[in-house]
Amino acid sequence: MNYINELKEILKLDNIYVQLTLKTILCILIIYIIEKIGIKLLKKTKDDKKEYNYTQKFKLIIKIIMYSIIIIIWSRFIKDALTFISVISAAFTIALRDLIFNFFCGIYIKINKPFEVEDRIEIDEYKGDVVNIKAMNFEILEVDNNALSGQSTGIIIHLPNSIIFHYPLRNYNKAFKYIWDEITINVPLDCDLVKAKSTIYKIVNSNEILKKVPAKLKKQINNVTNNYRIYYNHYEPIIYTKVEDDHISLQLRYLVHPKKARFVESTIWNNILTAYKNNEIELYEKNKQMNEKTNIARKERDEEVKTLESQKNAYSKIAENSKKDIDNIMAQLNNGENVSMTRLTDARNEYNANSKKVKEIDSQIENLSAKQFKLIDFNEEELSDLSYLKIRLSSLKLEDIDKLKDDLFVIKKLKYSFLF
């Protein structure tokens, strides 16, 4: 009964605790209504980005006001305010140090703006577009492995604000809203280089998205140079030339918005392939070059075989004549005729020497016929598909290739390419 009486005493309206609790609830309710009305009015803003920024700032102000009023309501019970603040601060510092650190990091982000909503950033192993910045954390919409031109995976990643002090931050939009993207186009060594570059420039300059790069880009770059000591000599598409072992690399560099980079690259490649089909540009084709070299090697081999066969025929005739001389001399000896033995010895020596030459040439021809590829290092992916080998080694007989699949050691250690 004593407990029930005490409970009734506490719940009396003239009880100070009840009054303050009711005031607190009323305060929270009023502020909640004000927040909802304010957000509804802010939604009338036409600019989505401004609407988002104003809404976030409004929510933060409302929370600060609400917490301040609640502290004021209950502060009358604190006899020693300084002692209370010290105790609470110590408790918060020990128990909620990570939350407090994240909160102040959030203030740092708001003031210094290392990134803003819609910026594409990369921090630690996370890459994506910033979609929300809160008091304790921020959220990014993840993109795939290529941060520059990657597409959204649809996954929202929540990161604590404190992460910006633990890992380097890459902001692909901080300086200005565009990035330098590159495409490498390989062309043959003997191509018309001037025509190739002209075709590529024509394709890039006619790209609808790149043409819409705002005129204020130059102004943005000037601002960057003023703030970051970064200088650009040009900001238009440019092609750099690099000579490789068996082809020329044309490295196209141009400015594009990160979120449109992948689509622009795909469009440029489609146009380059169309130009290639229309004979407006030559592209380096490794397989084609290999086939051309293979055909040259085959012709050289066939010519060498023809030369050897011609030599073989000559030696065969000499050996055949020497054999006839030996047979005639032996017939004369059998008939009791007087024949010089030196003549017989010379004929036999000549026959043996020419027969030996014929055998050597036969061996050379056989080696040339079998010498169609050489062994070099390879990656296992190529050998995992035997049909790929059959296509690549088109100069070999299929039954010879089939024998290779039984030799696992060779398959794991070697790969095959045409001998040039």
Q: What is the 3-state secondary structure (H, E, C) of 36-56?
A: HHHHHHHCCCCCHHHHHHHHH
Question: Which secondary-structure segment (H or E) carries 405?
Answer: none
Instruction: Tell me the average pLDDT across 301-321.
Output: 84
Q: Which of 101-105, 192-196, 237-241 has the lowest mean pLDDT?
A: 101-105
What's the token pair of residue 186? 């390989």
* b/e sequence 329-346, b meaning 16+ C-beta within 10 Å: beeeeeeeeeeeeeebee
Residue 147 has pLDDT above 70, yes or no: no
pLDDT tens for 53-96 read 777 778 878 888 887 787 777 766 555 555 556 656 665 666 66
| Calpha distance 396→390 (Å, rounded) | 8
Q: Which of 8-12, 69-73, 106-110, 253-257 has the lowest mean pLDDT?
A: 8-12
Say if 115-171 and 179-282 have the same CATH topology: no
Residue carrying the six token digits 């001389």: 325
The pLDDT of residue 378:
41
**With 0-12 CB in 10 A as exposed, 13-18 as middle and 19+ as buried, what is 123?**
buried
Residue 230 has pLDDT above 90, yes or no: no
Residues 350, 322 contacting (CB under 8 angstroms): yes
Instruction: Tell me the average pLDDT across 168-195.
Output: 85
pLDDT tens for 148-170 read 666 778 889 999 999 999 999 98
Q: Which of 12-16, 353-357, 395-399 has the lowest mean pLDDT?
A: 395-399
The pLDDT of residue 286:
66
The pLDDT of residue 77:
59
Residue carrying the six token digits 């008091």: 135
Share of the chain residues as helix, strand and coil, in percent rounded to the nearest 5: 60, 15, 25
What's the token pair of residue 117? 């909503």
Instruction: Tell me the average pLDDT across 217-228.
Output: 65
Q: Which of 252-266, 268-282, 309-323, 393-407 has the lowest mean pLDDT?
A: 393-407
Question: Which 3 state secondary structure label does DSSP give 23?
Answer: helix
H/E/C letters for each residue in 263-295?
HHHHHHHHHHHHHHHCCCCCCCCHHHHHHHHHH
Instruction: Tell me the average pLDDT across 108-123.
Output: 88
What's the token pair of residue 329? 């001399």
What's the token pair of residue 384? 């995992």
Across the chain, mean pLDDT equals: 75
Pick the CATH number of 179-282 from 3.40.50.700, 3.30.70.100, 2.60.40.10, 3.20.20.70: 3.30.70.100
Residue carrying the six token digits 């050489």: 374
Residue carrying the six token digits 């005729």: 337
What's the token pair of residue 369? 């016929």
**With 0-12 CB in 10 A as exposed, 13-18 as middle and 19+ as buried, what is 415?**
middle
The pLDDT of residue 138:
93
The pLDDT of residue 391:
43
Q: Which of 104-118, 154-168, 399-413 has the lowest mean pLDDT?
A: 399-413
What's the token pair of residue 256? 């594009």
Name the residue ranges covered by the structural domains of the chain.
12-107, 115-171, 179-282, 285-371, 372-420
The pLDDT of residue 287:
55
How many beta carbons lie within 10 A of that of residue 406, not counting itself?
A: 8
Question: Which secondary-structure segment (H or E) carries 325?
Answer: helix 286-334
Residue 184 β-bridge partners: 251
- Higher-pLDDT residue of 367, 138: 138
Residues 313, 219 contacting (CB under 8 angstroms): no
The pLDDT of residue 156:
92
- Classify domain 115-171 at the CATH topology level: SH3 type barrels. (2.30.30)
Strand order in the sheet with 152-160: 152-160, 137-143, 126-133, 120-123, 169-171
The pLDDT of residue 158:
92
Cα torsion 318, 319, 325, 329: sign = positive
The pLDDT of residue 282:
86
| Calpha distance 264→174 (Å, rounded) | 21
The pLDDT of residue 295:
65
Shortest CA distance to 252 belongs to which of 190, 199, 216, 289?
199
Q: Which of 110-114, 246-250, 413-417 has the lowest mean pLDDT?
A: 413-417
The pLDDT of residue 76:
62
Residue 253 β-bridge partners: 182, 238
Residue 380 has pLDDT above 70, yes or no: no
The pLDDT of residue 6:
54
Question: Which 3 state secondary structure label does DSSP give 332?
Answer: helix
Residue 250 has pLDDT above 90, yes or no: yes
